[in-house]
Structure 1
Amino acid sequence: MKATATRPKITVTGDGRGVVGHAGTRLLADLADATGLTSAFSQALAGLRQRQGGHDPGRIAVDLALMLADGGQAIADLAVLRNQQALFGPVASDPTAWRLLSQLDATMVAELRAARAHAREIAWAQHAETRGDLPQTVAAGQQVNGLVLDIDATIVICHSEKESATRTWKKTFGFHPLLCFLDNTGEALAGLLREGRAGSNTATDHITVLDQALAQIPDAVRHGTPILLRSDSAGSSHGFLAHIRSLRERHLDIRFSIGAAITEPVREAIRAATGWVPAIDTDGDLRDHAEVCEITGSFDATGWPEGTRFLVRWERPHPGAQLSLFDTIEGWRHQVVATDTPAGNGSIQHLEARHRAHARVEDRIRCGKTTGFGRFPSRVFAINQAWLQLALTGIDLLAWTQTLLLDGDLATTEPKKLRYRLLHVAARITRTARRTRLAIAANWPWTDALTSAFSRLAALPRPTG
């Protein structure tokens, strides 16, 4: 057996000069400036008190979002930025950051949301000018026309007493935020921090999150672009669906694809259903031991919006699948989808597979928990609400970096890989001829990707006025 090679022997000293870490995170900082996010945050928080010559509140908020995008989990992690002033400039102290968060009331948080929408409009315009249309989401090997919004809730466990942290439906303790992501790009459009006992299918909360998400989409895109709203059965409340239908009366081309509960009338309709066709998998290929059928009109759908169609899928349950008593008796796992996509706009196989792609939101949430909202810092609920908005901002900065500046697998990879390969890279800072130069190691495998990203950033059209 071949012996494992030993590592080279090293001598460690602490006298290095001009060396900085997390050099790639400067890309996010400069992108915040290029999209107008920094200036928009500064204007949104201009009314906050600050000492003469003190830190700009908007810049503090951006630095907090940068820290979260970089993988930080607590305000103390600002030290990584603060102690590298040659790379990131002056960064506020922890107490100053705490004071800012404590001043962000509901009005200020609404101003931050408006600032994010302003920066998003610029980022999308930059994308249109440099790269064309936004990416189209794909389901079962086919593109889904327009924008796809995914709403889902998650549980964030708290290990100490915090305001509005309560027992959850999973018998844990913490918060139960409701979130909306744009599947096309991975942007975090909206989030609502809720107490742990908040209901899963609360129509008011879903309406609030959807309206906030739609407000993040530029007017020119929102009006005239097809929008698909996907949710699990928590979004099937009749009040929420009626609200979606009312948006169409305001000239929004929005449709829904929602998980539906399997009630006794639905079970009878499934038992009597005919015309089953093979289901398709994520690549568009036929899936073994899975079939799809439409049961619209086979049961009383009173309360559902007019034109709602119902699709049912049954398949052999995989190991570990959660089965109802009905599933156990029948020997199949059943799922029902309600959608108001009219007939003629795709086969029932594609519509059902399109809905199953909603599962990607679980990956968005999992990554979001490593980008700020997996851990809330304060006992005060209002501070944690502000923290959530900054976490959504950090997620947006990562998404804009990928869609505007990166190619290949780096443009679609998860934040952890992006941090390990680009954001956390070390570099050397030198100053010559009144210019500051950031030199990344020539033999780092992703140096070309990072330097190309900085070049693309420099070439982005800047907002005027």
Structure 2
Amino acid sequence: MQSTGTRPKVVVAGGARGVVGHAGTRLLTDLADKTGLTSGFVQALGLDRVRRPAHEPGRVAVDLAVLLADGGEAIADLAVLRQQPDLFGSVASDPTAWRVLAAIDEPARARLRVARAAARELAWAQLLETRRSLPVTTVLGRALPGLVLDIDATIVPAHSEKESAAATWKHTFGYHPLLCFLDASGEALSGMLRPGNAGSNTAADHITVLGQALQQIPDAYRYGSPILVRCDSAGSSHEFLAHIRGLREHGMHTQFSVGVAITEPVRAAITAAKGWVPALDGDGSLRDGAEVVELTDLAGIGLLASFPAGTRLICRRERPHPGAQLSLFDQVNGLRHQVFATDTPHGQGSIQFLEVRHRCHARVEDRIRTGKTTGFGRFPSRQFAINQAWLELALTGIDLLAWTQHLLLDGAMILAEPKKLRYRLLHVAAKLTRTARTTTLRIAADWPWTDTLITAFRRLAALPEPVT
């Protein structure tokens, strides 16, 4: 074959038959069926219907969630699935999808959350049966007991007038959703779409998002495992911390680790602090130029009086990295200071360990960054209610990716970001062949990840079926 430069010369023509794209995305649709998510959504959105529609609203919602997991950004992207009926079946038109979204009000969203929780419970049971354990959060090589929930907010700009979009504290315009992720697995437990001018430390919103996240956790883990709630300083309102502590009265073993604003009493405690010890990096090595100290005994009764009993304050100071935003106090001292509060009692880890554990909250920023490429980085409608439904389906798409990784994949692919999954597995082309009443999806023999895909499909087929 002649070539021009380094690329072979090609002639483009149509007429090929049986070729499909996004073949690996079939993993997501089938996993939705295997975990009972599809049937749950169909039931959640199919109540009070006299006759069965041509496209079940619940199935349309699952297709939209799959679309977002696959990297789609708009309802029009459903065409990629719709034009391949031999692979994805009958997919609704864009107007039908819009009507389904418009019909999802708050009661319907609540039913979708219930269906998602039921699917999560089954997915975790399948994970225990096939992998013998659930993912765990590790700090300094030590597995933390129970579950770690990370709550954080983010700004999502709106480039046109949308209902409830508003000016944000970052001097942009859009929305300010609040989200909660399960740290060990990357599952998106809950989210609240809020106007752009919503407060960062609104206790009521944090309580709502945490409550919805806890409802996503199966009862055996919600009541039988320790639960650590991590936030930045936006979650340090005394009302929210009191709520976390109050959950213990309902049988949950909750603790918190939250950032604390450095006020004048905190600055006085930092100035008076003695006995600084070296801080650690995530791999256990010494963190260059960083030290930690406990401020609890220096904070004074007045400062700690509004915190739940047993709250401890721990501070880290270090040389600021280039571009770090420093307060006047930091500039005078030449060091950057960060303080967090935790009610983890003495004897459950050194202050170095607790500081690294809290700093790992930063992983939620990666969850949010990749989540913005999985649906909630762009909201499609001028109507706030439709965008709320879109957020719920985006969280579902994130869950489908997480379940796919932990149930069906191995090695580095378990930790791969969505972009890598899409480029290597989900978007691969394949050929459909039919022989003896069997339809076979044939992936190129020389594609480096063909064996990974075949293994994933085999594991998917072997998963226990949901009980209907």
| Alignment TM-score, normalising by the size of structure 1 | 0.98
Per-residue CA deviations over 1:57-112 (Å, capped at 9, x if unaligned) read 11000000000000000000000000000000000000000000111110000000
- In structure 2, the residue matched to 1:228 is 228
Instruction: Give the Å deviation of 1:351.
Output: 0.2
- CA–CA distance in 2 between the matches of 1:111 and 1:24? 29
**1:109 to 1:271, Cα distance in 2 relative to 1, 3 A:** same
Alignment-derived partner of residue 428 in structure 1:
431
Separation in structure 1 between the aligned mates of residue 6 and residue 227 of structure 2, nearest angstrom:
57
State the Cα distance separating 1:168 from its structure 2 match: 0.5
Q: What amino acid sits opposite 2:261 in the alignment?
A: A
User: Contact 1:28–1:66 (CA<8 Å) still a contact in 2?
Assistant: yes
Partner of 2:323: 320
For 1:145 and 1:61, the matched residues in 2 are separated by 35
1: CA distance between counterparts of 2:51 and 2:104? 17
The structural deviation recorded for 1:143 is 2.0
Q: Which amino acid aligns with 1:339?
A: T
Structure 1 position 352 matched with structure 2 position 355: yes
Q: Work out the CA distance in 2 between the residues paired with 1:303 and 1:21.
A: 58
Map 1:269-284; keep pairs closer than 5 Å. Answer: 269-284=269-284
- How far 1:140 moved relative to its partner? 3.1
Q: Deviations over 1:401-428 (max 9, x none)?
A: 0000000111111000000000000000
1:283-322 aligned within 5 A: 283-299=283-299, 300-322=303-325
Question: 1:194 and 1:219 mapped to 2: Cα distance?
Answer: 28
Query: SS of the counterpart of 1:24?
Result: helix
Q: Give the letter aligned to residue 108 of structure 1.
A: A
User: Is residue 149 from structure 1 mapped to residue 144 from structure 2 by the alignment?
Assistant: no
Residue 378 (structure 1) shift? 0.4
Alpha-carbon distance between aligned partners in 1 of 2:281 and 2:408, rounded to the nearest angstrom: 31
Partner of 1:174: 174
Change (3 A) 1:123 1:290: same
CA contact 1:229–1:254 (8 Å) conserved in 2: yes
Equivalences for residues 104-143 of structure 1 within 5 A:
104-143=104-143
Alpha-carbon distance in 2 for matches of 1:267, 1:114: 45
Task: Quote the Cα distance in structure 1 between the aligned partners of 2:69 and 2:51.
Answer: 28
Query: Closer, same or farther in 2 for the Cα pair 1:69/1:166, shift >3 Å?
Result: same
Q: Which residue of 2 aligns with 1:16?
A: 16
For the 8 Å contact 1:48–1:57, the answer to whether it is kept is no
**Distance across 2 between alignment mates of 1:381 and 1:396:** 23
Equivalent-residue separation in structure 2 for 1:43 and 1:437 (angstroms): 31
Percent of aligned pairs with the same amino acid: 71
For the residues of structure 2 that align with 1:352 and 1:28, how far apart are their CA atoms?
A: 37
Superposition deviation, residue 141 in structure 1: 3.1
**What SS does the aligned partner of 1:247 have?**
helix
Q: Which amino acid aligns with 1:301?
A: L
Count of aligned positions: 462
Larger mean CA deviation between 181-190 and 296-305 belongs to 296-305
Contact 1:19 1:429 in 2 (8 A): yes
Distance 1:217 1:85 in 2: 35
**1:266-323: per-residue Cα shift (whole Å, max 9, x none)?**
1111111011110000111111210000010212312000000010000000001111
Partner of 2:463: 460
User: Which structure 2 segments of 5+ residues have no match?
Assistant: none
Kept in 2: contact 1:259–1:338 (CA 8 A) = yes
1:220 positional shift: 1.0
Code of the residue aligned with 2:253 in structure 1: it is D
Q: Identify the residue that residue 67 of structure 1 maps to in structure 2.
A: 67
- Structure-2-length-normalised TM-score: 0.97
List structure 1 runs of 4+ shifted beyond 6 angstroms. none
